[in-house]
Amino acid sequence: MPSMRQSYTVTVPEEPPAAAFPFLKQDMRRKSSVSGSVLVSTFVGLLINQAKNSKSAQGLVGLKNLGNTCFMNSILQCLSNTHSLRDYCLHNSHRRDLNNNSRTNTALMEEFAKLIQTMWTSSSSEAVSPSEFKTQIQRYAPRFVGYNQQDAQEFLRFLLDGLHNEVNRVTVRPRGTVEDFDHLPDEEKGKKMWSKYLEREDSKVVDLFVGQLKSSLTCSHCGFCSTVFDPFWDLSLPIAKKGYGEVSLMDCMRLFTKEDVLDGDEKPTCYRCKARRRCTKKFTVQKFPKILVLHLKRFSEARRTSKLSTFVNFPMKDLDLREFASENSINAVYNLYAVSNHSGTTMGGHYTAYCRNPNSGEWYTFNDSRVTPMSSSQVRSSDAYVLFYELASSSRM
C-alpha cells in the first residue's frame, strides 16, 4: 500500500502566549527596541520548532510503509503507546536484561528498542522507516519475509514472543517435571502453576502481557471437576451474533467463557470415572494481565475467506471483567489505550491504529506515515480488530 505524506496542523495564535514563553512577556514590558516584525518572526519560529519537537518527543511520528507493511506499522504504534514497554526501551532497561543473559540473539529487541527511541526522541517529525526492524523480525519469523499483507494479531504474537525470548530473565530453563497439584485448592493450584511457568518464562514482556486462564471440566456422570491452568498472551473472542447487528464487548466475553458441552466424539476421559464421559467445559480468568489484548475474531478460521464487519461496542474506560474472574474481589477493571483497525475485505484491506498518547491522554490516528489528532468519540468503529486495554490500577487516565 502506498505510504502517505504526514500531515499535522500547527495553529499560530495571534499573540504570543506569555505563559508558554515568559521571557517574551518580560521583554514586551520593557518595550525594548526590537522591532515588532522581528519579534513576531522570532516567536513564530520558536513556536513551530516547539510544535515539531513536542510532536516527535510525544511519539507522534509516522512509520513508512515498506510495501503492504501497514499490519506491522499498526501494531508497532500500539506498542509504542504502551507506556511501560515504551519506558523499558527509552530508559534502556532492556540492555540490562540482554546483558544479564549474555545471549547471542539480541538483534530483534535491539532494533525494536532503537525504533521506539527514534519515534519518541527524534528531533525530526518526518516518518521513520522500520526497515532495519523488519529485517530482524523476518529473521526471527520467516513468515514475514517479503511484502505480502499479513494478519496484525499473528504479527503481534510473533513479535512479543521474539522480544520475550531475547530478554527472558531465565537463561537456563529447568527440565520439565511432572508435579501433581490436583490435591490443592484451585487458588493455590493456580499460583503453583504460575510459579512453574515463571521458572521458564520470565521477562518484562511477560510482566505486562501474560495472564492465566482456568479451564474447568465437570463430569456429568459423577460430578467430578478437574481444573487446568494455562498462560495466555491475548484472548481471541468470537463475535456474538444478534439480530440488530450490534453487539457489546461483554457479549463477546460471555460467548468466550460460556459453558460448552463435550459429548460424542469430543467426550473426554473423567479423572475419577476412568472412562469417557459427557462433560461441561468452562473458562474463567485466574490472573488478569497488566495489559489485556483482546482479539476480535472477524476472519473465518477456514482460509480467511470472509470477514465479519459487525460493530462491537467496547468501553473506552472502566471495562469491568470481574464477572469472568475465577476468584472474587479481583482487580479486573481496564481502560482502553490503543486499537488496531482493519478496513476493507480479506482480498484487499488496510491496517491503521488509534492510540491514546500516554503523556497527553489525547487520541491520534496512525495511518502509516500520516499522524493526525482525533476525537475519542471516533475510536469505536466496525473496523476495530485488536483492542489494547491497561489495568486501571496502573493506568494513567
Contact at 8 Å (CB) between 19 and 81? Answer: no
Q: Nearest 5 degrees, angle CA 212-CA 217-CA 220? A: 160
Which residue do the cell numbers 537463561 mark? 171
Distance (Å, whole) CA 138 – CA 128: 19
Cα 312 to Cα 340, 351, 367, 373: the distances in Å are 14, 17, 21, 23
Task: Specify the length of the chain in residues.
Answer: 397
CA atoms lying within 13 Å on the CB side of residue 353: 33
Distance (Å, whole) CA 50 – CA 12: 12
**CA 304 to chain CA mean position, Å:** 22
Q: What is the 3-state secondary structure (H, E, C) of 90-157?
A: HCCHHHHHHHHHCCCCCHHHHHHHHHHHHHHHCCCCCCECCHHHHHHHHHHCHHHCCCCCCCHHHHHH
Contact at 8 Å (CB) between 340 and 353? Answer: yes
Q: At 107, phi and psi to the nearest 5?
A: -65, -35
Name every residue whose Cβ is closer than 8 Å to that of residue 262 and which is 6 or more positions away in sequence: 217, 268, 278, 279, 280, 281
Q: At 31, phi and psi to the nearest 5?
A: 50, 55
Q: Which residues are catalytic?
A: 70, 350
Q: Nearest 5 degrees, angle CA 321-CA 380-CA 282? A: 30
Q: Nearest 5 degrees, angle CA 288-CA 291-CA 293? A: 90
Distance (Å, whole) CA 102 – CA 63: 31
Question: How many C-beta atoms lie closer than 10 Å to residue 179's C-beta?
Answer: 8
One-letter amino acid identity for 198?
Answer: L
